[in-house]
Amino acid sequence: MTIATSALRVADRLSMASGIGRDPFRADDFLKGALGGRDPTAFGRDFGPDQIMPGLRILLTALDDEAELSLVGRIAARWDAIRCLRNLIRMRDEEERSPAITKIPIRRPLIITGLPRSGTTFLHRLLDCDPRTRSPSCWQTMAPYPPARGRDRRIETTDRQLRSFARMAPGFRDVHPLSATMPQECTEITAQIFQSLRYDTTFRVPRYLEWLDGHGHDLAYRFHKRFLQHLQHQTADDAEAIQWVLKCPDHVFALDAIHAVYPDARIVFVHRDPLKVLPSVARLTEILRNPFARVQSAEDIGAQVTSRWRLGVEAMARAADDDAAGAIFHIQYRDLTDDPLATLSALYDHFQMPLHDTARIAIEAELSRTTKGGYGDNVYRFSDHGLDASRERAHFAAYMNRFDVAEEVSL
């Protein structure tokens, strides 16, 4: 336990004893705080209170009732929600000034998904090296526009926030290296209208997850496109000249919504032995939740992870079975790590994208700079989260057979 984590525990015990900071969350209070005296019409109609408040309300209820939030967790949840609401207001203000934003085309996005901890982040970083590609950076998803007054310190601020989180969550940088300028996952975008699986990763909120699964992801991905339109508007990129590259394992749970919003999307599935994935995902989930939760159950996390990704691989199999047009490209983890450049060349060939020399050189430079993709040495044990390797091998056998996934764990 670090000095930072020890201090957090002491502060949490004091807050529990005194009751300070323990009042239930109220969505209307968050809305009022974000508006700062403005009328709710400041959100506009596409992503206004009628659209976003149901998700916010069920999220806040789940945080109060299920997440066992620490004092820091309560502070962080409030700060994060108001940040997202203010981003929505700012984006609407920019649309008022530049109505053409909502007409900007987002063409043929390349969307990386598949099992988590399977090399999707590594692949995303390599593709982002291509000068013709664009990915939402971490700092952009935190604050898509600079402050109205003063210097633009978004990159420095985001890096400082990431360093602070790493001090509160020992081990985070080893399992998920991240900086302000690195590409960020798309759940950080959809979180801004409170319809994102990011919340289920950061907090234990089964009631919210059940609501989101039932509600669907159509609105979330319509907002996702709007967010990219805002970023593209700021860079003035020609829609025909650039390729958006997007990444999130949780995209597998929203493929119908993705195809509805991006009918020309190009999908990349990355496959890996689930027995290497599951304990790693469980450990990452535990690390991410630690600063925000008073107590955690490792076994509960393990059960959640394995049940969720049994659904995930079923969704991948259905999508692959329906892919008559070749809109999905499949990558094996071992191929990606053994020969990254050859794997990328095959991806570019499949989607008839030119791999220019400038991109190849930049990718090779990135490969020479990083060791093991920037990850630390990590050892995961199934027993740490109540998982049984033999049982999980049986649960995921159909997935491994369907996609010819090589075993990395011997039983």
Q: What is the per-residue pLDDT across 89-105, written as a single tens digit (0 to 9) for each? A: 999 999 999 999 999 99
pTM above 0.75, yes or no: yes
Q: What is the mean pLDDT of residues 170-181?
A: 89
Q: What is the per-residue pLDDT across 26-37, written as a single tens digit (0 to 9) for each? A: 999 999 999 999
pLDDT of residue 376: 52
Other beta carbons within 10 Å of 160 = 12
Which residue stretches of 236-384 are H helix? 255-261, 274-289, 298-321, 333-338, 340-350, 357-369
Rounded (10°) CA dihedral 380, 384, 386, 389: 30
pLDDT of residue 378: 62
CB 312 within 8 A of CB 392: no
Q: What is the mean pLDDT of residues 32-48?
A: 96
Does the structure show a pLDDT above 90 at 16?
no
Q: Tell me the domains of the chain and their CATH numbers.
A: 108-403 (3.40.50.300)
Other beta carbons within 10 Å of 196 = 28
* Residue 13's pLDDT band (cuts 50, 70, 90): low
Give the integer Cα–Cα distance in Å for 17 and 15. Answer: 5
